Structure 1
Amino acid sequence: MSFGLAQPLGLAELQATFAEGLRYRAQGEACDIIGGRFSAEERLQIYRNNFVMSLTEVMQATYPMLREVLGEECFNALSREYILRSPPTEGNVSHYGNHFDDVISQFEQVTDAAPYARDLARFEWTLDKAQQTFGQSEKRSLQPLEAIHTLSEQQHLNVILHLDSWVFPFTSEFALFDLQRAFSQQNFDNLILNNAQSGVIACDEYGRPWTKELNNQEYQLLLNLSSEMPLGRIKPEALAELPSLIALNIVAGFSLATPH
């Protein structure tokens, strides 16, 4: 016999409903929050505020330059929008903040005032991703670069140089490598943002991120190596830049492509 009493929520359902409540998609009563001096909705709002504030701090740590150029009020408002749209899916938030640029692109007042904001978000996320990836080498059997001299001339054509997994090409219509340098030196006097720049974002041996602008041929070679293209298929003008890229210590080793 049923008396119409509400059944208590199961743990999984309660967690899912509470997560929706944090995003303003469920009310306090639906989250099984018991009211008292404060109503269930008021209590839920406290959780919401703490939820947004803690994740905003994560976003501020990931995007310090973007926060500076947009101003704290604007940055925090965009972060709140991102947090409510894309809450964390795990307890570890050290990897949180990907695709923030997609949210920025939807606010014309922001992109009109700072056209480079979306690319700057991509730039800072790539810096963060390099740190996240550092030390996580893929399990693959590579030969050390020093062994290349033991290969025949024909084998050289089949050499595939593998970049470290924490090495990323980056390109933008804006001079973001110069902007980063201006921030580090706190000198913006000669900064011209409307210049396209391409380069590499990586980590040093201690896991500290670094960046370097590359010329067109260096960047093309970096893209070729990133796509694991055999040396024999790379254009000679780009391949001529190989010594300069190897000097950056971003190549993990090499393998040989299987001849077709």
Structure 2
Amino acid sequence: MQLEQLQLEFAASLLDHASHISSRLGYPESRQQELLEVYRGNFIISLTEVLQASYPATQTMVGDEFFEAAARQFILQTPLEEGSVTHFGEGFGQFIATLPGLRDMPWLPELARLEWQLDAMSLAELPIGDFPIQQLAQVKPQDYPKLKFHLSPACQLFSSTYGVASVWKMAKLDETLEVQLNEACHLMLVKQRDFRVLFISLNDTEFSLLQGFSSQQPLGAIEQADELERYLPRFVELGYLSGFSI
């Protein structure tokens, strides 16, 4: 058997108790299954720790025992597709939405989605240079409708019909806060130079403008474009924008 094929079968066996790979690994026959179970256990524990690091607030909301059981089920149903665990855990929010024990917490998958986006932001690039405000001042008025503003690579939008930002803060601070779950939240996630990720609440107009920028709509196609003069200084000051094009 080629080494690569053996490695692939061994990796698959960590999630498949019906695998017969143990007989081909060179262990004494009396210990083959026992040793493979040790590998399986450590593999699941390691990936559970990855999920715990990505979804700490979700774990706080459901409790350690439930989270670990859900994590194990997710791991068994979601094979690791690469050597790195950097992207492992995407889709955990959708997975927990299917669990019958969480039907009275319909906001929980949205909390998990926020946590995954916060975690993924750790890989975001930091901007180089400041927004070219002087070049923007030179744009002719007749070209304003064609302007396309570019979001900074260190910024991402998040929106939910549930007030999950408050839930995240409550879990993070381990304090009891007033939470309005039925109030929608619009956020801008901003990666800082110290690698922390802040999220800043947006009103409906701010979100509409920034969503239009994110989808590269020209200013003339954005419904709230007439509000840009009011909000542009704030967007530049907070580092939401990296540039523009026509």
Common topology (TM > 0.5): yes
Aligned to 1:27: 19
What is the TM-score of this pair, normalised by structure 1?
Answer: 0.84
Give the corresponding residue for 2:241. Answer: 251
Distance in structure 2 (CA, Å) of the matches to 1:37 and 1:17: 18
Q: Which amino acid aligns with 1:39?
A: R
Superposed displacement of residue 42, structure 1: 1.7
Residues 145 and 254 in structure 1, CA contact (< 8 A), matched pair in contact too = no
Aligned residues: 243
Partner of 2:38: 46
Does residue 2 of structure 2 align to residue 14 of structure 1? no
Identity %: 30
Distance in 2 separating the partners of 1:64 and 1:117: 12
2:54 partner amino acid: T
Give, in angstroms, the shift of residue 217 of structure 1: 1.2
AA in 2 matched with 1:21:
S
Map 1:93-242 onto structure 2 (within 5 A): 93-110=85-102, 112-135=103-126, 144-235=132-223, 236=225, 239=228, 240-242=230-232
**67 and 61 in structure 1: CA distance in 2 versus 1, 3 angstrom threshold:** same
CA RMSD of aligned residues (A): 2.3
Q: Structure 1 185/17 Cα, relative in aligned 2: closer, same or farther at 3 Å?
A: closer
**8 Å contact kept, 1:81–1:103:** no
Q: Higher mean Cα deviation, 78-87 or 117-126?
A: 78-87
Paired with 1:49 and 1:13, the residues of 2 have a C-alpha distance of 22
Counterpart of 1:63? Answer: 55
Give the whole-Å Cα distance in 1 for the aligned partners of 2:142 and 2:123: 38
Give, in whole Å, the separation in 2 of the partners of 1:26 and 1:166.
Answer: 45
Matches of 1:38 and 1:153 in 2, distance apart?
82
Q: Which amino acid aligns with 2:239?
A: N
Q: Which structure 1 segments of 5+ residues have no match?
A: 1-8
Deviation at 1:143, TM superposition (A): 7.5
Runs of 5+ consecutive residues of structure 2 not aligned to the other structure: none
Distance 1:41 1:136 in 2: 52
Query: More helix per residue: 1 or 2?
Result: 2
Tell me the residue number matched to 2:28.
36
Query: TM-score by structure 2 length?
Result: 0.89
